[in-house]
Amino acid sequence: MIKVIVSGACGRMGSRVIANLIAQKDMKLAGALEKEGHPGLWKDVGDVLHIGELGIKLSKDSGEVIRNGDILVEFSNPETSLEHLRIAAKNKKSVVLGTTGFNNAQVEEIKRTVKEIPCVFSPNMSVGVNLLFKIAREIAPILKDYDIEIIEAHHNLKKDAPSGTALKIAQIISETLGLNLDKDGVYGRKGFTGERKKGEIGIHSVRGGDIAGDHTVIFAGQGERLELTHRASNRDAFALGAIKAIRFIVNAKPGLYNMEDVLLFPILDGQTK
């Protein structure tokens, strides 16, 4: 039985991970973490989430709780996630990290911290989005002379922009084409911007309502355009991806993995790894 700790347990993602996790026969919820001052602290997390009593108290004591599990699933904020990652590394616990909004320095710290533990790190854990990552990587060299624009849409409570998923798509395309995203990325446009420069990657954010997550990559050429779109109707697609990541990471060797490592995509590759 895999003992799972969920951080950000009452958030939009953490709550769906818990709801899907308790339905699995090979894993159980061993701890639930939330920030200081959360109104549900020290109550049964199942009661707080209105999914029935689970026998697990919502806690802020990250050190004690993380030590009691096999795997930490992290959907909180960058600062909290790094703190918890350090605790997990110290106690040799595996990690599934889905938090977004990390800056470059924080990403480098993640890479250093997980050298001795297994960690799946992905801004989006849905099967469909990770297939979009793979397709974008394969299409970009073929359409390298086309203009590339990325549009993402999320709910009005999302704190970071662009989304981690949109940035991941942009990073994949820029690396594939030998571009520098720091130099070639254009984040929205306003005013007299002049003609679009060759090699730009446009990235645009929409915020409104309860949109779970929409991402579109546009390859625009002369007389035609190709659009790759993924739309999430709810967060269970992401939560079920996290469940797959838990099963993968429990038997993985130390190191940093992504969701393509978890999912393998044997149909596109023609073989499994």
Q: What is the pLDDT of residues 56-66, one digit of tens each?
A: 999 999 999 99
- What pLDDT, in 10s, does the model give residues 124-175? 999 999 999 999 999 999 999 999 999 999 999 999 999 999 999 999 999 9
Catalytic residue among 3, 134, 144, 158: 158
Comparing CA positions, the residue from 74, 49, 50 lying closest to residue 62 is 74
Region 172-192: mean pLDDT is 96
Q: Are 231 and 216 in contact (CB under 8 A)?
A: no
pLDDT score for 25: 96
Q: Indicate the CATH number of 127-232 among 3.40.1190.20, 3.30.360.10, 3.20.20.70, 3.30.70.20.
A: 3.30.360.10
The pLDDT of residue 264 is: 75
How confident is the model at residue 220, as a pLDDT?
A: 98
Look up 50 and say whether it is catalytic. Answer: no
What is the predicted pLDDT for the residue at 268? Answer: 45
Q: How sure is the predictor about 95, in pLDDT bands with cuts at 50, 70 and 90?
A: very high
Question: Catalytic residue at 154?
Answer: yes
The more confidently predicted of residues 272 and 168 is 168
Q: Is the pLDDT of residue 266 over 80?
A: no
User: Would the annotation count 34 as a binding residue?
Assistant: yes
For residue 27, say whether it is annotated as part of any ligand binding site: no
The answer to whether 164 is annotated as binding is yes
pLDDT at 273 over 50: no
Fold: same for 2-121+235-269 and 127-232: no
Question: What pLDDT is recorded for position 265?
Answer: 60
Catalytic residue among 154, 168, 215, 230: 154
CATH of domain 2-121+235-269: 3.40.50.720
Task: Find residue 204's DSSP bridge partners.
Answer: 151
* 79 assigned binding-site residue: no
100 is in an annotated binding site: yes
- Does pLDDT of 271 surpass 60? no
The CA distance from 213 to 227, in Å, is: 16
Q: Is the pLDDT of residue 272 over 80?
A: no
How is residue 146 annotated by DSSP?
S
Q: Could you tell me the residue ranges of all domains in the chain?
A: 2-121+235-269, 127-232
- Please indicate if the annotation marks 165 as binding a ligand: yes
Across the chain, mean pLDDT equals 94
Annotated binding residue at 123? Answer: yes
Q: Does residue 77 have a known ligand-binding role?
A: no
Name the percent of the chain lying above pLDDT 90.
Answer: 94
Q: pLDDT tens-digit profile of 12-47?
A: 999 999 999 999 999 999 999 999 999 999 999 999
